[in-house]
Amino acid sequence: MSRSCKFAVAVHIASLLATSPGQALTSDWIAGSVNTNPVVVRRLLSALAKAGLVASSRGSNGGSTLARSPERISLLDIHRAVEADDGPALHHQPPNPACPVGRNIQSVLVRVMDRAEAAKEAVLATTTLAEVTGALAAAEK
């Protein structure tokens, strides 16, 4: 079972852009910081641009910048831009309906996972990109 790292990489990308105001960063340069393939960066930049968080330009002087200030970008904005909302992860195969646990486990887990997701979204909604870059700057001191 794998977990997506899109959110973490997207926050990394947005943090790079936030700490380089007015400077268009290329996907190759960003990929060097993230330590991944530039194609991965371009896909995430595209998703962030579609959400109105990043502006990108092509050409020899092209690159990407934030489309709005880091104070106006929440981590929930970034999360929603890059992560698909597939609902809670449940069994790959339906459990045995003849079993008292099997016939009820999914509905119970959905309620728990919905509460957990709401709590996660509440924290992400109240955490800005500016807070992340501030914590990064403090960590450097």
* Dist CA 7 CA 75 (whole Å): 9
pTM for the predicted model, two decimal places = 0.88
Helix axes 38-50, 6-18, angle to 10 degrees: 80
Determine the pLDDT at residue 91: 76
pLDDT at 99: 95
Q: Would you state the pLDDT for residue 3? A: 60
Report the pLDDT value the prediction gives residue 1, as an integer from 0 to 100.
Answer: 35
What does the pLDDT read at residue 94? Answer: 86
Q: What is the pLDDT of residue 54?
A: 98
Distance separating alpha carbons of residues 22 and 4, to the nearest angstrom: 30
Identify the pLDDT of residue 88: 67
Q: Which domains does the chain have, with CATH numbers?
A: 6-86+128-140 (1.10.10.10)
Q: Measured between alpha carbons, how far is 106 from 95 in angstroms, rounded to an integer? A: 8
pLDDT of the residue at 23: 94
Could you tell me the mean pLDDT of each successive run of 10 residues in the chain, 141 residues long?
79 98 95 96 97 92 95 98 80 88 92 94 98 96 82
The pLDDT value recorded for residue 53 is 98
Neighbours of 44 (CB within 10 A): 25
Amino acid at 77: D
